[in-house]
Amino acid sequence: MSLLNQKTDPEAAAAPVAVADHVLGAARAGELRVQVARQLSGEGEEAIDDVLQEVALAFHTAGEIGTEAGKQDAWLRQAAAHKVQDYWRRVERRRRLRARLTELSTTNTPVEPSPYEWVISLERVNDLHAALGRLPEEDRRLLEEKYLHGQSYEEVAATRRMTVKTVEYRLLRARQAIRQLLEHKP
């Protein structure tokens, strides 16, 4: 379901709640909503709905939980607690990523490789060119079309009059040959 549908269609916006109610049962979903809302205080209804959807999915895909209501309720409370922890981990990862991106965007000094890293990268490029030179012509052309010119598997297949599966296999074989040549360079 797209965000556009959720914003323009009130029934689509209520769908996550309806799905959780359907899978978990309205009473259970209501109890879990209170638990999750308490643990996500200030995060808004969308965050609560997302966590409840994850709990409903986990419940739906779980194996045998048991048929006793008490056992299922305990499992659901524990699953909700875990999904809330996952939510907070995602929030923290995003916060750290934004901070890192802000830090990188505010530093005006470009990060340059050390002389050692520069020499190593040149050696790797030279080794790669030498390995490419030792490949059969057809394999080298396939690799160039795919990775140097950025063509899709479908484009390479159409140009070469091959099936996509054949192109995938030939490229796999060519990459394996390059890897082997680089590992056993003279």
Write 125-129 long-range contacts (CB < 8 A, 24+). Answer: 127/182, 127/185, 128/178, 128/182
In 3D, which of 35, 34, 79, 40 has the Cα closest to residue 56? Answer: 79
- Per-residue pLDDT band for 17 (boundaries 50, 70, 90) equals low
Residue 21 has a pLDDT of 61
- Whether the CB-CB separation of 157 and 167 falls below 8 Å is answered with yes
Instruction: Transcribe 123-155 into DSSP letters.
Output: HHHHHHHHHHHTS-HHHHHHHIIIIIS---HHH
- Per-residue pLDDT band for 105 (boundaries 50, 70, 90) equals confident
Per-residue pLDDT reduced to its tens digit, 77-97: 898 889 999 999 998 999 999
Per-residue pLDDT reduced to its tens digit, 129-150: 888 889 999 999 999 999 888 8
**CA atoms of 68 and 35, how far apart (whole Å):** 21
For the full predicted model, state whether its pTM sits above 0.75.
no
Return the structure tokens found at 132.
């490419």
Place of tokens 């259970």: 28
In 3D, which of 56, 70, 44, 66 has the Cα closest to residue 18? Answer: 56
Higher pLDDT, 119 or 68: 119
CA angle 147, 153, 155 (to 5 degrees): 95
Domains and CATH numbers, the chain: 3-106 (no CATH), 115-183 (1.10.10.10)
Residue 109 has a pLDDT of 61
Higher pLDDT, 22 or 95: 95
CA angle 167, 168, 172 (to 5 degrees): 115
